[in-house]
Amino acid sequence: MAKISVQQRKYFVERIESSINDKINELKQSNAAQVQSISEKAYEKYLKLLKVDKDMKRFAKLDVEYKQLQSKLVTVYDEVSRSLNFDKYAANTPSVYNSSNSEDINKGYRFLCGKTAAKQETETPEGKLIKQLEAKKRAAVDELHGVNELEGLKATVNNILKGADVPLLGE
């Protein structure tokens, strides 16, 4: 028997493994549909064997409930953010979209609460001062734009705006 070198052995081993692996891969591909069929038929038994069949059913039920709750929370968040008129996609705005935990949704709602509170800040002494300054600013701008020169028009518009809880012209 002839002796072969280590290098020759490695070459022959790689060549044999490569040829056989190619043939094995062809067979696996042609058998893929049958393997899938066997897997589908055995799936329920497999879950029972692992003792997770009841957990999987419960998870599916909870997943539906989770998605419904998340959808409702996102819808309400969208409505409130629209009413507050801010960019909900800005970099510093917490996201409630596709969130996988309640902490992210909680951050989003805390953010909305802060935005809402900022619009209702007149309960503090500083807030009252801010409201007075904003009223003075509006009155000064109205004066500069000549709103006060159109008394009849101003009175008509202010009459329309009464009760709408918005600043009237000239105030």
pLDDT tens for the chain, residues 1 to 171: 678 888 988 998 999 999 999 999 999 999 999 999 999 999 999 999 999 999 999 999 999 999 999 999 999 999 998 888 877 778 888 888 876 688 888 888 898 888 888 777 667 777 778 878 888 888 777 777 766 666 777 777 777 877 777 777 766
Is 154 in contact with 170 (CB distance < 8 Å)?
yes
pTM score: 0.54
How would you class 167 by CB atoms within 10 Å of its CB: exposed for 0-12, middle for 13-18, buried for 19 or more? middle
